[in-house]
Amino acid sequence: MPYGDDLDARFNELISQFSEEEQRRMRAAAVKGVRPPRNAGGGARPAGTRREAGPQRRTGRLWVALALMCTVLAASGIVVAFRPDLLSPVPARPAVTLTATAVATAPATASAPAATPVAVPERLVNPFAGSPAQSYAEGVAGFVMPKARAVSGLSEKQVAAGLKRTRALLAAAFLDRATIAGGRPSAFMKLLHPDERSIFAKRLDRKGGERDGDTRGWVTSLAPGSAELATDVIKVTSKATLAPFKEPGHAGAKVTTRFVVVYGVRRPGDAGSTMRLVVHGRATMLIYRARGDLVVWATDWSRGAAPSRCGAPDRFVHPVFPEARQGEPRPTGAPLDPYDLDGPEPDVPCQSVRRT
Tell me the per-residue pLDDT of 222-243, one tens digit each, with 9 for 90 and over. 999 999 999 999 999 999 999 9
Residues 322 and 198 in one domain: yes
Query: Residue 105 above 90 pLDDT?
Result: no
333 lies in some domain: yes
Does 262 lie in the same domain as 146? yes
Same domain, 104 and 161: no
Decide if 172 contacts 185 (C-beta within 8 A).
yes
Q: Is the pLDDT of residue 33 over 50?
A: no
Is 203 within 8 Å of 314 (Cβ atoms)? no
Residues 288, 201, single domain; the answer is yes
pLDDT of residue 119: 66
214 and 330 share one domain = yes
pLDDT tier at 81 (50, 70, 90 boundaries)? very low
The answer to whether residues 138 and 99 belong to one domain is no
Structural domain tally of the chain? 2
Write down the pLDDT at residue 77.
37
Is residue 117 domain-resident?
no
Residues 17, 155 within the same domain: no
The percent of residues above 90 in pLDDT, for the chain, comes to 55
136-180 per-position pLDDT tens digit: 999 999 999 999 999 999 999 999 999 999 999 999 999 999 999
Q: How far is CA 164 from CA 102, 143, 144, 192, in A?
A: 63, 11, 10, 13
Residue 192 CA to residue 198 CA, distance in Å, equals 9
Residue 175 located in a structural domain? yes
- Say whether both 66 and 149 belong to one domain: no
Quick check: is 118 in a domain? no
Q: Which domain holds residue 88?
A: 2-35+58-110
Q: Where is average pLDDT lowest: 61-75, 204-218, 258-272?
A: 61-75
Q: Is the same domain home to 283 and 180?
A: yes
Residues 183 and 93 reside in one and the same domain: no
Are 102 and 19 within one domain? Answer: yes
Note whether 100 and 191 are same-domain residues.
no
Residue 185: pLDDT above 80? yes
pTM as predicted: 0.67
pLDDT at residue 53, as a whole number: 39
295-324 pLDDT, tens per residue? 999 999 999 999 999 888 999 999 999 877
Average pLDDT, the chain: 77
Listed residues 44, 79, 110: the one ending a domain: 110
Whether 176 is covered by a domain: the verdict is yes
Q: What is the pLDDT of residue 115?
A: 65
Average confidence (pLDDT) over 124-132: 93
Within a domain: 341:
yes
In the listed set 110, 141, 170, which residue is the last one of a domain according to the structure? 110
The answer to whether residue 116 sits within a structural domain is no
